[in-house]
Amino acid sequence: MTSARSGPSTPTVPGGPLSGVRVLDLTTFLSGPFATQILSDLGAEVIKVESLGGDLSRSIPPHFVGDDSVYFLANNRGKRSIAVDLKTDDGRQVVLDLIARSDVVIENFRPGVCRRLGLDPDRIRADQPDLVWASISGFGQVGPLRDQPAYDMVVQAMSGVMSLTGEPGGPAVRLGIPAGDLIAGMYATIAVMAALLDRPRSGGRTADVSMLDGQLAMLSYQGAYSLVAGVTPGPQGRGHDSIPTYRSFAGRDGREFVVTANTERMWQGLCDALGRPDLIADERFVDGRARLTHRDQLWPILEKEFARRTAREWVRELATRAVPVSLIKTVPEALRDADEAGRDMIVDLAHPDGRQARVLGNPVRYVGESARPATYPPGLGEHTVAILRDILGRPPEEVDRLLSNRAVATDPRPPGTTPAVA
């Protein structure tokens, strides 16, 4: 899919449906790096442009492999890094030259910052009409909130998502994962891949992806309930607004598990597992609407029955009756089980200097194809010289000049040292 102007592509990992696509990654922290890591996993060549001090996520505590923040390692595998000072004319020209040789640019600066840096997407795309440009921001490139700073918890709060999280009567709770960032990253990848697919017919596009918009979209039926019925959904706690047998319970041992008996067949299987066929014929619970109406009478019955046996025993009993059920696993339990499942959702990263890390893998599978190997995230400026030489064709004396005047930098660290922040 690389156009004639793109130059020789040197993907860090061969193969994949996006092989031949070059992505210039002008992002930091999470939403953008998560998006570009997805594209890298799918075969794109991703060039991560960092400041001379590096992506600030490189130093996020508390966990490190050597001097690499695990936060950074989790979101930057398979990329190449070039360190550039965008405030210098030479550095800005390096990035413009890389854009000219790329198929996709993804950035998550605050609105207006790219233009102030001399990277105006409108002007660039006027000269490069088949370029796909994706901007990720808190509130979008237009609108009354465009200039406000945003982080994950801010958009969780503003979208109403936090108001749905927690126990009824308790305080609002942030989701345990950074959904605002991750969902924006996923929507950015969708926008990029759709634009690439349509590029032969319509040319490139500029995508405007808002973290807040992504969270609003995730309200799904809860948002529709509010719009249609005028209700204010509250904290969901252990249950579900529509299905009373879709919630968590505790076994005799105190271990929690979830039951999602959301069809009549599953409801009957649940009653059979409990040894309570009388519940099926009970007029209060005769169908889903009746069970919802009388859920405050149903729940104490179920809770009392589930307290008779351990959570694992109930999981076995319900599973044999094809009632969807699971223990509420801890993160280590979930990761162990994923590792044993053999679907490559836990991947090992190995650096030539001996550093190793385990991170979550790519959930996209193509039938008949093996999982692509994962490469260790790049050191700051690790590929600066190679990118200048091989992609931009800069001669050695020009590379030396750019390095000496600090328009670009390469990581001078011996292994085990921390990069200085410029």
1: pLDDT strictly greater than 80: no
Give the C-alpha separation, 398 to 384, whole Å: 13
Model confidence band, residue 370 (pLDDT cutoffs 50, 70, 90): confident
For the question of whether the overall pTM of this predicted structure is more than 0.85, the answer is yes
pLDDT in tens, 99-129: 999 999 999 999 999 999 999 999 999 999 9
Sign of CA dihedral 10, 15, 21, 22: negative
Specify the higher pLDDT residue, 172 or 372: 172
Is 63 one of the catalytic residues? no
371: pLDDT strictly greater than 50: yes
Cβ–Cβ < 8 Å for 184, 211: yes
CATH number of 246-327: 3.30.1540.10
Catalytic residue (one of 63, 240, 351, 383):
240
Model confidence band, residue 416 (pLDDT cutoffs 50, 70, 90): very low
Model confidence band, residue 3 (pLDDT cutoffs 50, 70, 90): very low
CATH code 3.40.50.10540 region(s) in the chain = 4-218+356-409
Give the C-alpha separation, 211 to 151, whole Å: 9
In order of 202, 222, 341, the CA distances from 196 in angstroms are 10, 33, 33
Model confidence band, residue 390 (pLDDT cutoffs 50, 70, 90): very high
The overall longest dimension of the chain from CA atoms, in Å, is 86
At position 304, the amino acid (one-letter code) is K
pLDDT in tens, 153-178: 999 999 999 999 999 999 999 999 99
pLDDT at 419: 42
Residue 416 C-alpha from the chain's centroid: 29
Cβ–Cβ < 8 Å for 309, 251: yes
132: pLDDT strictly greater than 60: yes
Average pLDDT, the chain: 93
**Residue-wise DSSP of 237-285:** TTS-SS-TTEEEEE-TTS-EEEEE--SHHHHHHHHHHHT-THHHH-GGG
Model confidence band, residue 398 (pLDDT cutoffs 50, 70, 90): very high
The CATH number of domain 4-218+356-409, selected from 3.30.2020.10, 3.40.50.10540, 3.50.50.60, 3.40.50.300: 3.40.50.10540
CATH code 3.30.1540.10 region(s) in the chain = 246-327
141-148 average pLDDT score: 96
Cβ partners under 8 Å of residue 220, min gap 6: none
